[in-house]
C-alpha cells in the first residue's frame, strides 16, 4: 500500500473524521475532502457553522502537504479562512493543493464548493513537520 493510501486510512480512522462522516481522496500534492451537510452542523440561523468550513479546508490543504512528506505527520501552524457563501444542505467538497513545499515552509491552499459547484470558502495554511512519525500507532497503515 502506498503513502497516499495510508494517509487516507489514517484520516478515515480518526474520531473527528468519523464524527463528520468525512471522506478523502489523496494524490501526490493534492487532496479532496467531502462532508455531507448535517443538521448538527448548523448555527442558530440554519446554515453550516464556520467550524465545518475550517475543518474541510484545513484537512484538504493539510493532506495535500502531508502527501509530500513520507516520514512524519505535519502540523497546521496557521490558517487563513475566507467564507464566501452560506450552505444549508447537500454536500461540501474541498480541493487542496500544495503552494510551496520547500523544507523551511510548507504552504497549502484549499477551495470549498457546495453540491452545485458554487465556491463557498477558501483558505491557505502554513504547515510544519512534527516529531510524530507516520506509523501504525496513529493509523498510518
CA-based radius of gyration for the chain: 15
- pLDDT, residue 43, reads 84
Average pLDDT, the chain: 94
Q: What is the DSSP string of 19-63?
A: HHT-EEEEETTEEEEEEE--GGGB-TTSSB-HHHHHHHHHHHHHH
- The answer, as to whether pTM is greater than 0.85, is yes
Instruction: Please determine, for residue 126, whether its predicted confidence score (pLDDT) is greater than 90.
Output: yes
37-96 tens-digit pLDDT: 887 787 888 888 888 999 999 999 999 999 999 999 999 999 999 999 988 788 999 999
- pLDDT, residue 8, reads 97
- pLDDT, residue 39, reads 76
Which domain covers residue 90, as residue numbers?
3-136
CA distances from 4 to 1, 32, 69, 122 (A): 8, 12, 10, 23
Is 141 among the domain residues?
Answer: no
Instruction: Please give the Cα distance from 113 to 11 (Å, whole number).
Output: 20
Residue 15 CB coordination number (10 Å): 7
**Domain count of the fold of the chain:** 1
Is 124 among the domain residues?
Answer: yes
CATH classification at residue 127: 3.10.129.10
SS3 at position 66: helix
- pLDDT, residue 96, reads 98
Amino acid at each position: 500500500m502506498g503513502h497516499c493510501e495510508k494517509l487516507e486510512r489514517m484520516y478515515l480512522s480518526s474520531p473527528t473524521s468519523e464524527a463528520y462522516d468525512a471522506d478523502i481522496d489523496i494524490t501526490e500534492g493534492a487532496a479532496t475532502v467531502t462532508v455531507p451537510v448535517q443538521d448538527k452542523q448548523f448555527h442558530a440561523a440554519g446554515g453550516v457553522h464556520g467550524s465545518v468550513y475550517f475543518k474541510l479546508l484545513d484537512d484538504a490543504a493539510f493532506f495535500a502537504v502531508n502527501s509530500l512528506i513520507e516520514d512524519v505527520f505535519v502540523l497546521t501552524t496557521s490558517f487563513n479562512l475566507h467564507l464566501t457563501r452560506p450552505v444549508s444542505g447537500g454536500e461540501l467538497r474541498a480541493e487542496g493543493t500544495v503552494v510551496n513545499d520547500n523544507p523551511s515552509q510548507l504552504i497549502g491552499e484549499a477551495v470549498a464548493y457546495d453540491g452545485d459547484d458554487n465556491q463557498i470558502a477558501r483558505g491557505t495554511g502554513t504547515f510544519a513537520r512534527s516529531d510524530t512519525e507516520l506509523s501504525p500507532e496513529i493509523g498510518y497503515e
